[in-house]
């Protein structure tokens, strides 16, 4: 049964499952970098959900959102769709998807050389690193671990927000190697970094470029991209921009890619009537996340909410994870809660690769733990139960028929 995002759902309680946190040494005071500043009475390690560059005043059409093979980011007058994109035709044969689930981190670039992430990164099998040639013919040379929408080039780890993107990636898949933290989906999923989101063009245009890259890589190159993490967002009051956000997310839906989106950090603000993008786009492949406090007892004081637009909450306060330069820090924000849900989705896809984005979303929502503090604040009235969601995915796997043993002759 699909849960309607427009109204609270009745969810049966599930058994409590303790979520372990890495026992890390006390983190040094966080130096907030890349312009994502803490504000007001928030934790000292609070990192606000980035909003990126504002769109050009009066602009109602995208830049040639992703011209594959070039780094031209100029707005083309009259352009009303993304260049070089193809609708997904369900009648055409699709490349076979193999390997671990791939989770795209659309953000500042991920430090793919970090000792806790280097083996967790997706590696493009069709590219030869450093040769400057577009070996796989996708229009981008040397996109070994992803793509940079800000520069239009293959190295995602450039530009603003690399602390933010690297921290998000570590929550999902930091390696179980005895160092720092261990990601929820460690060893079960790979990270594809779409960096440069806060550079070059505005946030919406860069999101469109990100989507086009991911859809192309999945539908034409067989990359097993199952979900995308969007720990960013902003308010868009003009209808044209809202339609562009929805159209881009619909492309993800058509490619069966789940979008995990962070709600705002508005100190308890209600987002029900706010055109918050991409979090408040009402499509069945979108799962919107608020933040619980560090003890997973109540909504974090910095988190927004909305019982018509926010689906559930997950721990997002004092989360210890990777930052660039082989380091780890604690950060707080809905940006940290969202990859916790993305990692859970990754674990579920690993258990049953046949699950669709919508099915995983619905299983996550059906297995939340109801929480009195969340009643009337999020659609489900509940918080993420990681183990219950994974168990629900396991339960969908159809047992293989037993091979009948030959009867021994006498």
Q: Any idea where the domains of the chain sit in the sequence?
A: 103-395
Side-chain-side CA neighbours of 336 within 13 Å: the count stands at: 27
pLDDT given at position 398: 82
What sign for the dihedral angle of Cα 53, 56, 59, 61?
A: negative
DSSP output for 60-87: -S--S---TT-------TT--S-TT---
145 catalytic residue (yes or no): no
The CA-atom distances, in angstroms, between 301 and each of 287, 290, 391 are 21, 11, 31
Helix count and strand count (H, E) for the chain:
6, 13
Alpha carbon distance 181, 178 (integer Å):
8
pLDDT given at position 406: 61
pLDDT given at position 74: 28
pLDDT block averages, 10 residues each, the chain of length 410: 37 34 35 40 86 67 41 28 43 74 98 98 96 95 97 97 98 97 98 97 97 97 98 97 98 98 97 98 98 98 98 98 98 98 98 97 98 98 98 91 61
E-only strand ranges, 142-282 = 146-148, 190-195, 225-230, 234-235, 258-262, 276-277
**Which of the residues 114, 145, 164, 305 is marked catalytic?**
164
pLDDT given at position 148: 98
Does pTM surpass 0.75?
A: yes
Alpha carbon distance 410, 404 (integer Å):
18
304 catalytic residue (yes or no): no
E-only strand ranges, 189-257 = 190-195, 225-230, 234-235
Structure tokens at 272: 């029900």
Top CATH class of 103-395 equals alpha beta
pLDDT given at position 189: 98
Alpha carbon distance 355, 333 (integer Å):
29
**Which of the residues 48, 107, 142, 311 is marked catalytic?**
107
Q: Give SS3 for 325.
A: coil
335 catalytic residue (yes or no): yes
CA geometry: angle 110, 114, 118, nearest 5 deg: 85
**Which of the residues 38, 304, 321, 335 is marked catalytic?**
335
CA geometry: angle 14, 297, 362, nearest 5 deg: 40
């Amino acid at each position: 049964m699909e849960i309607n995002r427009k109204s609270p759902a009745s969810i049966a309680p599930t058994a409590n499952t303790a979520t372990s946190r890495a026992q890390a040494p006390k983190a040094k005071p966080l130096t907030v970098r890349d312009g994502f500043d803490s504000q007001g009475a928030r934790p000292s390690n609070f990192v606000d959900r980035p909003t990126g560059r504002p769109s050009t005043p009066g602009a109602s059409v995208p830049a040639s959102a992703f011209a594959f093979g070039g780094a031209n980011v100029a707005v083309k007058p009259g352009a009303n769709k993304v260049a070089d994109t193809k609708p997904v035709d369900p009648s055409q044969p699709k490349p076979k998807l193999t390997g671990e689930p791939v989770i795209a981190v659309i953000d500042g670039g991920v430090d793919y050389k970090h000792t806790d992430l280097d083996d967790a990164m997706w590696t493009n099998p069709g590219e030869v690193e450093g040769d400057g040639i577009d070996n796989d013919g996708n229009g981008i040379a040397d996109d070994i671990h992803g793509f940079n929408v800000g520069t239009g080039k293959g190295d995602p780890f450039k530009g603003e927000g690399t602390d933010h993107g690297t921290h998000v990636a570590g929550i999902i898949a930091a390696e179980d190697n005895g160092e720092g933290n261990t990601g929820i989906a460690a060893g079960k999923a790979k990270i594809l970094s779409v960096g440069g989101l806060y550079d070059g063009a505005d946030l919406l245009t860069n999101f469109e470029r990100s989507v086009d890259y991911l859809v192309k890589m999945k539908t034409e190159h067989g990359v097993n991209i199952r979900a995308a993490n969007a720990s960013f967002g902003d308010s868009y009051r003009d209808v044209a921009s809202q339609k562009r956000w929805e159209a881009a997310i619909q492309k993800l839906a058509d490619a069966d890619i789940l979008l995990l989106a962070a709600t705002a950090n508005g100190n308890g603000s209600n987002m029900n009537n706010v055109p918050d993008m991409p979090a408040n786009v009402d499509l069945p492949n979108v799962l919107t996340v608020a933040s619980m406090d560090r003890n997973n007892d109540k909504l974090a004081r910095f988190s927004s909410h909305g019982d018509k637009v926010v689906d559930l909450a997950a721990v997002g306060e004092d989360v210890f994870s990777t930052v660039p330069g082989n380091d780890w820090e604690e950060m707080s924000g809905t940006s940290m809660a969202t990859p916790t849900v993305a990692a859970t989705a990754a674990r579920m896809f690993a258990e049953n690769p046949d699950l669709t984005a919508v099915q995983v979303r619905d299983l996550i929502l059906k297995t939340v733990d109801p929480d009195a503090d969340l009643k009337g604040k999020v659609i489900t009235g509940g918080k993420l139960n990681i183990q219950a969601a994974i168990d629900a995915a396991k339960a969908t796997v159809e047992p293989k028929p037993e091979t009948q043993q030959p009867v021994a002759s006498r």
